[in-house]
Amino acid sequence: MPATPKLESILADAPLAAEIAAKLDRLATARPAATAVPPPGAMAGFGGPPSAAAGAPKAAGGAADRIRARAANVPGTEAIVRRFGRPTLLVRNGTFEVPPSDIWTQRLYAAKSRLDRTIASVGRVELANHPAPWAGTGWLIAPRVAVTNRHVALLFAGMKNGDFSFRRSPAGGTYGASLDFKEEHLQPDVLSVKVKRIVYVADLTDDAPDLAFLELESEVELPSPLTLAAANAKAGDFVATIGYPAFDDRNNLDDMGRIFQGIYEVKRLAPGFVLGSSDEGWFNHDCTTLGGSSGSAVVDLETGYVVGLHFAGEYLDRNYAVSASKLREYVTRFIGADALARPHAAISGGVPSPQVPATAAPPPTAANEAPPTASDLADRTGYDRHFLGTTDALDVPMPALSDRLLEKVAKIESGPRVGEHVLRYTHYSVVMNAERRMAFYTATNIDGQSLQRIKRKKDAWFYDPRISSEAQIGEDLYVGNDLDRGHLTRRLDPAWGDQAARAEKDTFFFTNCTPQHSGFNQRIWLGLEDYILDSAETDGFKATIFTGPVFGRGDPPYRSAQLPKAYWKVAAVRHRRRGLSATGYIVSQADLISHIEFVFGQYETYQAPVARIAAKTGLDFGALVDADPLGRTEAAPVRRLGELDDIVL
């Protein structure tokens, strides 16, 4: 069987292709899946899956070729690709479990806070006085109004005297319905709210969307309504469904058993991507769903906004969802335009692959503050190599770059130092890696005796106008996820002396910014400078700090960047007995990037020889290698720092 367009579209996702290829041996003996009957009402005529984007990287060192080769010989290979490429994740305590795939872990956890807020507003449609205990999924689309599918609502709703109402039960009385916004696996919590009124159920015609609106009772405080995306989903966007998949024998039983592990009828999140769209208000996606998923919210992973209402699916083919624009049209007609929550920014599309930049809101700036010009920064003197003392023994030049690294530096294009590569600010300097669009390192002078405590105002980050903005990562990387703009040179480290206020403000350039997860609050790492300055072994209160990311080929791609897994620091001080003394440190946030859930002690800070940091970074630290007490005392030392007192100075 030749590789199909759908297979090729997934192989274009290089990281996922590599992960799938690693599992091929397990798949070799997998049984071909049986063809399933598509659910009633599945619509035809939708566009197919996206083809590989132009310029997309070759998939992961031959991984795509290995999968294609297997596709030529093993029946049902495309099913195998989809079966292992689209997980469905249990929701517990309001958040989703860690995916088994590292690739999906990186993608989902970058948007975790937004997804968690969305999860809270999705509920299970439960029935009263009815032979079925529940019917599907619904979610809040307006204050106290939930949306679900028409075919879900028709199990308990009908038309009487021109109005929608609850149908009568053959056993007597009427059916009832409610939404339980919990129903999580092995969790006893309940947040059940009765349906007060059937607001609207769409007609059973081909041109009407499969949707219904339900008004909920008002005695219980509810989560916030979800926000509809400003633009419709497009092919290739990364999305996730949130709903309550139920056992569904229209699908292969072996597949269901492996993927769902026998756990059904509870809240789950299932990631995937948009395959194509229709001008008639529908689109296709390939998230893993089952019968109870009817009415699920389809959420854009980039923004956390809802792009669709899932309503049908075909086994090993595609799923179907009502588009955001169609949902907005019907809310406006039957509930009111004012009922809709408005997006904070008109951001469209999903989490882009590395070759597709995201569209983002402009970076925050202080009120009435114009971006600085190259002339504004012309008087900055930057890092002082003689800061610790004027003798040759205390001379600490900036780390030198190898010839290979010098080819990657961003050079000054505007101002008085055109052609140079050291960007000077107040009391610190930066050398930029134009290829990675982050700093190779920053170099900072700290005078602990004259430091000033400047209150933090609303952050206003700027591009440095002296180098190309193409060599700097801007706000687009940080929109709609849990990444922080992490200072390399800490905000208050250069804030000393008469120019303290200007120095603090100078730390808010994107050249001094790297992506760090919001949970990255390692107290030892953040407290190194203060501990060193306060140590009795330090002569005076001055220190020179070099810090930067450890760039690796395996750094995970995200949007148009790669996220560093580790950072380093080298601190130079004047020791009261030995003169010049230097110590090195490394911290990793690799697991934070993947798993996010930060527990102190799981992600350690290490004291490492300066020579080891030089080898990892390609930088030449000169005399600081010989000034390292750790390098003199042990053969190959790397010390885990459980407390700051563990530091060897």
Q: What DSSP assignment string belongs to 96-149?
A: EPPPSSHHHHHHHHTTHHHHHHHHHTEEEEEEESSSSSEEEEEEEEETTEEEE-
Tell me the one-letter amino acid at 512.
N
Tell me how far apart the alpha carbons of residues 609 and 110 are, in angstroms, rounded to a whole number: 32
Tell me how far apart the alpha carbons of residues 147 and 121 are, in angstroms, rounded to a whole number: 11
Beta bridge partners of 299: 240, 306
Per residue in 278-299, pLDDT (tens digit) is 888 999 999 999 889 999 999 9
Report yes or no: 430 and 439 within 8 Å, Cβ to Cβ: yes
Structural domains of the chain ordered from first start:
121-216 (2.40.10.10), 392-646 (3.40.570.10)
pLDDT at position 632, please?
58
Tell me how far apart the alpha carbons of residues 99 and 105 are, in angstroms, rounded to a whole number: 5
Tell me how far apart the alpha carbons of residues 92 and 531 are, in angstroms, rounded to a whole number: 40
Confidence class of residue 553 from pLDDT cuts 50, 70 and 90?
confident
Region class of 76: left (phi > 0), else alpha (psi between -120 and 50), else beta: left
Tell me how far apart the alpha carbons of residues 213 and 60 are, in angstroms, rounded to a whole number: 46
pLDDT at position 191, please?
94
pLDDT at position 594, please?
37
Percent of the chain with pLDDT over 70: 74
Structure tokens at 58: 């070759």
- At a CB cut-off of 8 Å and minimum separation 6, what does 82 contact? 6, 10, 286, 316
Per residue in 180-233, pLDDT (tens digit) is 999 999 988 899 999 999 999 999 887 899 999 999 998 888 999 999 999 999
Indicate yes or no: pTM above 0.85.
no
Structure tokens at 330: 């019907």
Report yes or no: 157 and 167 within 8 Å, Cβ to Cβ: yes
How open is the CA angle 489-490-491, to the nearest 5 degrees? Answer: 115
Asked whether residue 363 carries a pLDDT value surpassing 50, the answer given is no
Tell me how far apart the alpha carbons of residues 596 and 105 are, in angstroms, rounded to a whole number: 9
Mean pLDDT of the chain: 79
For residue 180, give the nearest of 87, 96, 90, 265 by alpha carbon: 265
Burial of 106 (0-12, 13-18, 19+ CB in 10 A): buried
As a residue count, the chain comes to 649
